[in-house]
Amino acid sequence: VTAPNIPANPIIRELPDELISQIAAGEVVERPASVVRELLDNALDAGAKNITLRLMAGGVRAIIVQDDGSGIAREQLPLALKRHATSKIASLHDLEQVGTMGFRGEALAAIASVAECSVLSRVQGDASAWLLDARSGEISPAARAVGTTVEVKELFFATPARRKFLKTDATELSHCLEVLRRHALARPEVGFAVWHEGKLLEQWHASSLKQRVADVLGDEFVALSLAVAHSEGAVQVSGFVGVPDAARARADQQYAYMNGRFVRDKVMQHAVRSAYEDVLHGGKQPVYVLYVSMPPERVDVNVHPTKIEVRFRDGREVHQALRHAVARQLDAPRSHMPVAPQHSNLEVKTPDAAGLITQFAIDLVANESHQAAAQAAFNTAEQSSAQPYRPPAPAGYEVREISQLWSKPTAAQAVQADQQEPSVWPLGRAVAQLHGVYILAQNTQGLIIVDMHAAHERIVYERLKTQLDGARLASQPLLIPATFAATPIEIATAEAHEATLQQLGLEVSAFSAKTLAVRAVPTTLAQGSPTELARSVLAQLAQHGDSADAGSQVIERAQHDILASMACHGAVRANRSLSLEEMNALLRDMEATPRSDQCNHGRPTWRQVSMKELDALFLRGR
């Protein structure tokens, strides 16, 4: 190991301006995309209504941003490139109230220190535009409408070491486009266009937020998302959150904005994630575009040179508002939505119902010519989609007797059910059970397929959660205690957690040195095996044992885990044949239960196959 090269008598010097800017550039300018971000910020701050981005070689050769904003006056041009020169704040008070994207006055100076840079600009009322060459400092008259064009060429040309860190042009381009998407989603009222190597890649006209989200993230994103509008204390939340079905393997469609600025913030990410906790399958990542706004003095945006991080005065305030905003949308059962969002699990790219039916057709027909026929049939069905399907007049159906397997309908529900035509039940009326696994039901749109175990599991789970919220689960003693041979750990856990077990409606105590006896079980789960239930709860308690000392969120999580595994024991097993009454009671329960579109593991509980899709399968109407 060689010692660092420290001179015997260190001399402290002031660094030259150029070097200071280059050091600052190390923080602000990492790659072409960082330049794009700064230039787009500036254009938006200047009040631009239309912004055009032109790139060469992924932005490494050239980045040009043209805007129709306020422009920069001739005498101000040299200042724009000076370090710590900004038109956006003048005092500490301004800094605390800052509403512009930039305010540090270092971006252009930093960029100009690591690239060839020029600024062409014209303000209202000036007879001509002016071009500033950053290298020479020369200003010359030029032609241009009101607004600004900033050109940044040969990024890192003077610092080859940094240039080496750049990836392929394609990768740099994709980073630039991601930056553009973030800005475009922040400002739907501004038009954006992007060109690469002379080719127009994207053009998004000024539009509504919904249209902009569709333009940038695709129609499918909008079709599979729920609109959020929520206000809590000083915090406002709006935007779109994807239904659990729309979640992705990667966290690549998560856009969060704080007071109009795209941010990556742990508190905000966690808040959204926790709203999905109960309905998301495995490691899937939710998709969302969320805008949070709050008084600027409650959030510090000046904690990071690129301002992508923020610091909240009260993180909990933001966390709660955001979590509630998202959960409120996710919790409501979606069977009531006029057109329930559809998405095939099969990762089919085609948006909405098209994916499901195409996959159906492809699964059903093995050889290629049939596939072509099925695709053609599907295309035809799409074209004729203008006329809605007219369902046949519903046959009368009465709920006569409800098995004790399901909850008895409340008086109000029963009255409602009596008055309602069966055809208006969102999940329809049951017509059959398939291989002891699926319930088939008919509703106005066509066929509903329900995974009965998954659906019932969710209903039992939600019922248990509600009961536990009200202190403890209702319990029912067993006539004959159920005993089982227990491990020492199980016996110890039963002793240590007696109170918790009671809260969960379970009474488990030692029967002999090596045997435990279950003496009471939760009323809701009275149908299942008491010993299996006790075993699984003891296992969960042993695992979560110490979380009683942890924060309330951890306790809640542990409780939910335990209730979820209890629900699994209480839920109807596959291969149990159900009567139509039982199936219908389950469907009505689903319509009334929060989060019933997903099972406890986040998988979907039901699917709609429309008549249109069925007709296409049979080539009807051709």
Q: Which residues bind Mg ion (CB under 5 A)?
A: 41-42, 102, 107
Binding ligand ADP by CB under 6 A: which of 28, 29, 36, 46? 46
Strand partners, 119: 132, 150
The CB-of-53 to Mg ion minimum distance in angstroms stands at 15
Q: In this complex, which beta carbon is closest to Mg ion, that of residue 102 or of residue 286? A: 102
- Within 571-590, the residues that bind ligand ADP by CB under 6 A are none
Among residues 173, 146, 191, the alpha carbon closest in space to that of 35 is found at 173
In the list 32, 58, 69, 244, the residue contacting ligand ADP (rule: CB under 6 A) is 69
**Residues in contact with ligand ADP, shown as a per-residue x/- string from 92 to 121 under the rule CB under 6 A:** ----------xxxxxxxx------------
Other Cβ atoms less than 10 A from the Cβ of 592: the count is: 17
Give the nearest distance from C-beta 442 to ligand ADP in angstroms. 60
Chosen residue from 34, 52, 70, 600 binding ligand ADP by CB under 6 A = 70
- Name which of ligand ADP, Mg ion, none residue 444 binds, using a CB cut-off of 5 to 8 Å depending on partner kind: none
Smallest CA-to-CA distance from 450 within 275, 278, 590 is with 590
Quickly tell me which residue has 């709660």 as its tokens. Answer: 320
Which conformational region is residue 436 in: left (phi greater than 0), alpha (psi within -120 to 50 degrees), or beta? left
User: Which of the listed partners (Mg ion, ligand ADP, none) does 70 bind, with a CB threshold of 5 to 8 Å by partner kind?
Assistant: ligand ADP
Residue bearing tokens 């098995």: 403
Q: Which residues of 169-206 are buried (b: 16+ CB within 10 A; e: fewer)?
A: beebbebbbebbbbbbbbbbebbbbbbbeeeeebebee
Stretch near ligand ADP under the rule CB under 6 A, chosen from 69-77, 330-338, 436-444, 476-484: 69-77
**CB nearer to Mg ion: pick between 187 and 569:** 187
CB atoms within 10 A of CB 614: 16
Phi, psi at 441, each rounded to 5°: -135, 155
Q: Which two tokens stand for residue 394?
A: 């519903």
How far apart are CB 303 and Mg ion at their closest, in Å? 17
Least Å from the CB of residue 266 to ligand ADP: 25
Nearest C-alpha neighbor of 446 from the set 614, 595, 289: 614
Find the residue with minimal CB distance to Mg ion: 102
Q: By rule CB under 6 A, what string of x and - marks binding of each residue 124-163 to ligand ADP?
A: ------------------------x---------------
Q: Which has the closest alpha carbon to 451: 463, 435, 431?
A: 435
CA distances to 470, 497, 535, 542, 563 from 492, rounded to whole Å, are 28, 9, 13, 9, 21
Element (H, E) at 271: helix 266-276
Which of 35, 80, 114, 132 touches ligand ADP (CB under 6 A)? 80
Output 86 or 593, the one with its CB closest to ligand ADP. 86
Crossing angle for the helix pair 352-364 and 368-383, to the nearest 10 degrees? 150
Asked whether the beta carbons of 221 and 287 are under 8 A apart, the reply is yes
Q: Say how many residues touch ligand ADP, by CB under 6 A.
A: 23
Amino acid in the structure at residue 355: G
Candidate ranges 70-78, 130-138, 209-217, 249-257; the one touching ligand ADP (CB under 6 A): 70-78
Q: Supply the DSSP symbol for 520.
A: E
| The one among 34, 86, 407, 593 contacting ligand ADP by CB under 6 A | 86
Interacting partner of 359 out of Mg ion, ligand ADP, none (Cβ under 5 to 8 A depending on kind) = none
Map the footprint of ligand ADP across residues 47-66, applying CB under 6 A.
none
Candidate ranges 86-94, 311-319, 363-371, 412-420; the one touching ligand ADP (CB under 6 A): 86-94
Q: Does 38 bind ligand ADP (CB under 6 A)?
A: yes
Smallest distance from Mg ion to CB 101, Å: 7
Smallest distance from the beta carbon of 103 to ligand ADP, in angstroms? 5
When CB distances are held under 5 to 8 angstroms depending on the partner's kind, the choice from Mg ion, ligand ADP, none that residue 248 binds is none
Cβ proximity to ligand ADP: between 109 and 578 the closer is 109
Question: Cβ neighbours of residue 98 under 8 Å, at least 6 residues apart?
Answer: 88, 89, 296, 301, 302
CA-closest candidate to residue 322, choices 281, 276, 262, 283 = 276
Stretch of residues binding ligand ADP (CB under 6 A), selected from 40-48, 203-211, 299-307, 388-396:
40-48
Pairing of strands 50-56, 191-196: parallel
Q: Are 38 and 107 in contact (CB under 8 A)?
A: yes
Give the binding site for ligand ADP (CB under 6 A). 38, 42-43, 46, 67, 69-72, 80, 85-88, 102-109, 148
